[in-house]
A and B are shown apart, each in its own frame.
Chain A
């Protein structure tokens, strides 16, 4: 017979306001198997945990029930606590009388009765529990970083500097990501390329980093410490060992297509490097737009290459690699302004996006850094910036705030004033979000020192008037409608999740929120981890972020990876499936439904008939304890350790007992 201790938490007033915790404690003390029951304000705090240790020793407890908050929050806290006191951490149950009781009910009497029921169930379940142990599983101390923007680069550098090998996979021909597109960065107005390219070169030269650009992750299986990943190294059509990066092929290529790097404002060739400082500095051939691949004619690049590096016969390579941890840094995409038909829906050449403006103003861009009107290449004298295009918009965009647009618009306005001092610059904003170091001062400087006119109001519509664009907006502070005839209009478009997030999420077992952004394990306390161990998240794939937050998250993800790699093995999951082969009929239904491929068939000799027969076998290292096989087994040959059938039934009986 178990000696169960029950510890009821007030959680400040979170639980105690609705549930009569003292009553629950008094009643719990009378439950069968309970030898000690007490309550405390914050059970998870040091004094609270000390109470548990002392009670275990004093009352010789061999099972513990804590009635408090959700196990997802503090199960591991209390398990560690009782392990420190010498008990097996798995003879432990939590009754969630907060999220499942006090936080969702308001009637004190009914809530208290429910909390009592929950506690009684937990006591019965704990009484039937058995001590569990964890096996040591080896791990591969090699990290995979998916995404070669600043988040991926930073994470890779940190993990590599810690001494572990890293593979950095990037789908573009070069690493660098969005930062490579930027001109200056707020609020310091550092040149983006100047701070990024040294890191890009470090990543390329680091002995521990393997760069795989023009590559994509195709499949991921396995579990923490032991991921098996298939990576497709797409054919560059250029031999990287021979190419010197001279650029003659690009010069001579006759095919021009809109440049993705220049956001459609400029062109690139079919054989191209996205930008001159690309790392690796080796071009790729875009086979969909290359004349040789489409029609069999041309072949100029191969002819002119002095190093004979062009190789049309190159094929994709499929790599199968093993990694112990994966850092996901896949970034985000931008809202399509064509959805905002009242702003022209993409029909007006002089209405551009923030991304396009960034390319205009960058010296490496299509206009060599001259801010000009795309329609006639003349310098604009009146420039209007519109914030929140697609952000904070329930009807045509996303309800959330994209966080960075207020700052980059202030940056753009500052750049216009610097390059065209006599220009009139207007910013239509809804609110200014400048909550970063020196951010507020940066925006105020644009308004006070540089004379940028900030108008608080959205723009209703934009239409051509003569050769200008009439912007019809408003200022809610002065309470007036406002019109500006602009030469150039820049839309600060919302940041949004990439189109392929569903596939990536499925491949990596990451949850996404309703917008497609990846969900962290806990929004406050575990911002760089995924709920599945071994997978870490960094950067804008989690939420719109600026550079400092992205770099911090990347380093955080790297640190978590290093924590994982600091041990020589990891402990397996203890609450896993367990088979009784005597009952197993060998139907192998469990094997079919296991989502982790953790079940195999094995042949054993039957004890009774002495004949060979097939039964199922659980791979304890892989099993995640989802319980699907337990539910499917028709012979009741499978049970779940720590959540066994007899425990569940005991809990049900406790509930029905009056």
Chain B
């Protein structure tokens, strides 16, 4: 199956639906595109693909389109779709799976600042066992070259004692690190142990078998 394009046609990735189904544990084929998910999604107005179109692209094997969409990043995992889907598909879980696959694939993320934010967050957790908003916001601001975003709000919150420059660290940080390493054994795109751009490049090695 091919999708004719203006420069060249590209082939459907016929294994995509099975991959996503295996990794997420959800029955991708069951989706009959009723769009109830789209109808209730709070972020649908900002998405390039609607949630039901994400499912359709997975079914048809439009890998790069779906992994490069803004949709999978804009999803807040509010699970409204999951709760109302008449085919009992946990679409929020499928979105989680697609996010992981997107980072592994090296496709340019549709909303790059969002995985960036998550990586900084997890870097802090890996180092200290906790997430502290102040360094998180600072690092994010610098990384997005927008250090003045929410500066006034940040100031207000700091003065009310809602932002702390230092927070306690977990004692057994080694144990926390091991949790990260265990997860990386399965995950092709490791969260960087040090800060910096683990970012939008995928893992260099060949993907190992993705069995759960």
Binding site for B on A (CB under 8 A): 342, 388, 392-397, 430-431, 456-461, 472-476, 479-482
Contacts and interface: CB of A to CB of B under 8 A. Distances in A.
B96 to A, nearest CB: 20
A342 B84 contact: yes
A337 to B, nearest CB: 14
Contacts of A395: 85-88
A481 B45 contact: yes
5 contacts: A394-B88, A457-B52, A458-B39, A460-B36, A476-B34
B33 interface: yes
Contacts of A472: 39-40
A394 B40 contact: no
In the complex, which of the residues B36, B37, B84, B85 has the most CB atoms of chain A within 10 Å of its own CB atom?
A: B36
Contacts of B62: none
A479 B65 CA distance: 15
B50 A458 contact: no
Nearest to A394: B88
B36 A397 contact: no
B38 interface: yes
A332 to B, nearest CB: 21
Nearest to A482: B39
Given A394-B87, A460-B80, A460-B84, A481 B32 contact: no
Contacts of A430: 32, 34
Contacts of B40: 342, 460-461, 472
Contacts of A479: 38, 49-50, 52-53
Contact of A474 (B49, B52, B85, B88): B52
A461 B41 CA distance: 11
B26 to A, nearest CB: 13
Given A342-B84, A481-B41, 4 more contacts: A457-B34, A460-B37, A474-B36, A481-B44
Contact of B39 (A388, A397, A457): A457
Given A342-B84, A480-B50, A457 B32 contact: no
B74 interface: no
Given A430-B32, A481-B45, A474 B86 contact: no
Given A479-B53, A481-B44, A396 B86 contact: yes
B36 to A, nearest CB: 4
A481 B86 contact: no
Contact of A392 (B35, B38, B49, B86): B86
Contact of B38 (A431, A461, A481): A481
Nearest to A473: B39
Contact of B50 (A392, A473, A481): A481
B35 A456 contact: yes
Given A481-B39, A482-B39, A458 B86 contact: yes
Given A397-B86, A481-B50, A458 B41 contact: no
B97 to A, nearest CB: 21
Nearest to B48: A479
A612 B82 CA distance: 75
A111 to B, nearest CB: 29
Contacts of B38: 457, 460, 474, 476, 479-481
Contacts of A480: 38, 44, 50
B35 to A, nearest CB: 4
B20 to A, nearest CB: 19
B82 to A, nearest CB: 10
B33 A476 contact: yes
B29 to A, nearest CB: 13
Contacts of A397: 86
In the complex, which of the residues A388, A457, A473, A476 has the most CB atoms of chain B within 10 Å of its own CB atom?
A: A476
B86 A475 contact: no
Contact of B34 (A342, A458, A461, A482): A458
Interface in B28-86: 32-41, 44-45, 49-50, 52-53, 80, 84-86
Nearest to A478: B50
Contacts of B36: 457-460, 474
B86 A457 contact: no
A456 B35 CA distance: 8
The 3 closest A-B pairs by CB, nearest first: A460-B40, A460-B39, A457-B35
A496 to B, nearest CB: 16
Given A460-B80, A479-B50, A394 B35 contact: no
B122 to A, nearest CB: 32
A479 B88 CA distance: 21
B55 to A, nearest CB: 10
In the complex, which of the residues A396, A430, A431 has the most CB atoms of chain B within 10 Å of its own CB atom?
A: A430
Contacts of B39: 457-461, 472-474, 481-482
Contact of A476 (B35, B85, B86, B88): B35
Nearest to A393: B86
Contact of B32 (A342, A392, A459, A482): A392
A481 to B, nearest CB: 4
Contacts of A475: 35
Contacts of A456: 35
A457 B40 CA distance: 11
Interface string B97-127: 0000000000000000000000000000000
B75 to A, nearest CB: 14
Contacts of B34: 388, 392, 430, 457-458, 476
Nearest to A458: B36
A476 B41 contact: no
Interface in B7-39: 32-39
A263 to B, nearest CB: 24
Nearest to A456: B35
In the complex, which of the residues B33, B45, B85 has the most CB atoms of chain A within 10 Å of its own CB atom?
A: B33
Contacts of B88: 394-395
A394 B50 contact: no
Nearest to B55: A476
A480 B87 CA distance: 20
A458 B88 CA distance: 15
Nearest to A475: B35
Contacts of B80: 460
A458 B32 contact: no
Contacts of A476: 33-35, 38, 50, 52-53
Contacts of B87: 394-395
In the complex, which of the residues A393, A397, A460, A480 has the most CB atoms of chain B within 10 Å of its own CB atom?
A: A460
A458 B37 CA distance: 8
Contacts of A431: 32
B60 to A, nearest CB: 14
A455 to B, nearest CB: 9
Contacts of B41: 460, 481
A158 to B, nearest CB: 40
Contacts of B44: 474, 480-481
A480 B86 CA distance: 19
A40 B102 CA distance: 58
In the complex, which of the residues B32, B40, B86 has the most CB atoms of chain A within 10 Å of its own CB atom?
A: B86
A460 B80 CA distance: 9
Nearest to B40: A460
B84 A474 contact: no
Contact of B35 (A342, A393, A396, A474): A474
Nearest to A459: B39
Contacts of B50: 474, 476, 479-481
A222 to B, nearest CB: 44
A457 B45 CA distance: 16
A479 B87 CA distance: 19
